[in-house]
Amino acid sequence: MLKSLLEWMFLVPTITGSVYVVLCLIALWRFHTRPPKTARKPFVSWPPVTMLKPVHGLEKNQRENLRSACLQDYPLFQVVFSVQTPDDPAVPLLREIQREFGPESVTVVIGNRRAGSNGKINNMLGGLPYARHEILVISDSDVRLRPDYLRTIIAPLADPEVGCVCTLYKASCAETWFEKVELLTLNADFMASVIFAHVTGASKFCLGASVALRRSTLEEIGGLEALADYLVEDYEMGQRIWGSGKKISIVPYFIDTMVDLKSPSQWWNHQVYWDQNTRAARPVAFLATAIIRSTPFALLFASMRRLDGVGLAVLGAAILVRMATAAMTLGWGFRDREGLKSLALLPFRDLAGLVSWFLALTRKTTIWRGSKFTLTRDGRLVSREMRS
């Protein structure tokens, strides 16, 4: 009796997980085929923009990534690079880029602001006073932008009802096996779920790696200071903007974010960190993801049946559906050739994902930028040093 019950417990998430990845693929098709929304009243002329780029240390391909922010096909824009300490190893590179493009276009800010535990927000708080324009774009330091990026992300703000605009992103430049697993986590799992949530309306969110908004909107939601203690500051920003009555626009445009991991342990900590992000932002949805993990539960089902014909058939079918939908998502949906070449690692990634999910469920601490924090029930970060 117990064996039969366990088999059903493992079979249900195998089926629901297989159905879910098919639904994600259908959502991706709808996302690509539906006509794009345009502002009712486009900008007569492009407004000036300030791009905030918080920087922390040296990263893979950083020169190309940061220069791409300065090479925009846009009439008038300012790039503000901000670091928190004068001995940050990225400072010489930032000064070099400033000399290349001129101080009227590039501002380098060094300021140790601390409004909370979120280092990214603290970093941007140092750069924000130097922003000269009303329209702000927040763009992570590890992303590479195409020249049409600013025009694409700014265009929806012509509609006064739009409070925030986000672009999608996908991982790239994975070299080691653990970087390739990280790439699959982002491209074949996270971003596919983001598009599903967007198309179905299952979740209202904001993607903090690439955001455009008005300074007045930021002030209406309490400014950056109001976000400074949250682990998932972009989700909190999105909730506050929706709560203010404004819309969030997700444009069908992908930017590349560099995968930069130095060791398997760093990869594993980041896997758990990703799941802790989901748990902090959307705890109910995080719990629900346990029943859409087809590969590990199919393996458990097959193991309970001692790898008999039925068990192996279920396992094979689950892996086939997962691999086929992921291949279509990566190849057709995201034009991600790197992900396709790494697809053989996906079953391992899915097995590791169930373990990291369990750890994220049970751990009360998270590691970020080498520091340990306690994660509260409402998604806030509390430094362990502050608590002691």
Cα–Cα nearest to 60, from 138, 190, 172? 172
Average pLDDT per consecutive 10 residues, the chain (388 residues; last block may be shorter) = 84 96 95 72 90 95 96 97 95 97 96 86 95 96 96 94 94 96 95 91 82 96 92 89 92 93 93 86 85 94 94 97 97 94 96 93 76 75 57
pLDDT of amino acid 80? 98
Q: Is 335 left (phi over 0), alpha (psi -120 to 50) or beta?
A: left
Can you tell me the distance from the alpha carbon of 19 to that of 318, in angstroms, rounded to the nearest whole number? 10
Which 8-state DSSP code applies to residue 51?
Answer: E
The string of pLDDT tens digits covering residues 16-28 is 999 999 999 999 9
Give Cα 209 distance to the centre of its chain: 6
The packing angle between helices 309-328 and 2-33, to 10°, is 20
pLDDT of amino acid 203? 73
pLDDT of amino acid 39? 54
pLDDT of amino acid 387? 38
Can you tell me the distance from the alpha carbon of 53 to that of 139, in angstroms, rounded to the nearest whole number? 6
Question: Which secondary structure element, helix H or strand E, spans residue 25, and what is its range?
Answer: helix 2-33
Strands 247-258 and 210-214 come out as unpaired
Can you tell me the distance from the alpha carbon of 130 to that of 361, in angstroms, rounded to the nearest whole number? 40
pLDDT of amino acid 4? 84
Question: E strands along 84-195, which residues?
Answer: 106-110, 135-139, 143-144, 162-172
Can you tell me the distance from the alpha carbon of 93 to that of 330, in angstroms, rounded to the nearest whole number? 34
Can you tell me the distance from the alpha carbon of 345 to that of 337, in angstroms, rounded to the nearest whole number? 14
206-243: buried (b, 16+ CB within 10 Å) or exposed (e) per residue? bbbbbbbbbeebbebbeebebbbbbbbbbbbbbbbbbe
Can you tell me the distance from the alpha carbon of 351 to that of 186, in angstroms, rounded to the nearest whole number? 15
pLDDT of amino acid 34? 81
Can you tell me the distance from the alpha carbon of 388 to that of 386, in angstroms, rounded to the nearest whole number? 6
Can you tell me whether residue 262 is helix, strand or coil?
Answer: coil
Contacts of 160 (CB under 8 A, 6+ apart): none
Question: Which residue(s) pair with 137 in the sheet?
Answer: 51, 212
pLDDT of amino acid 284? 85
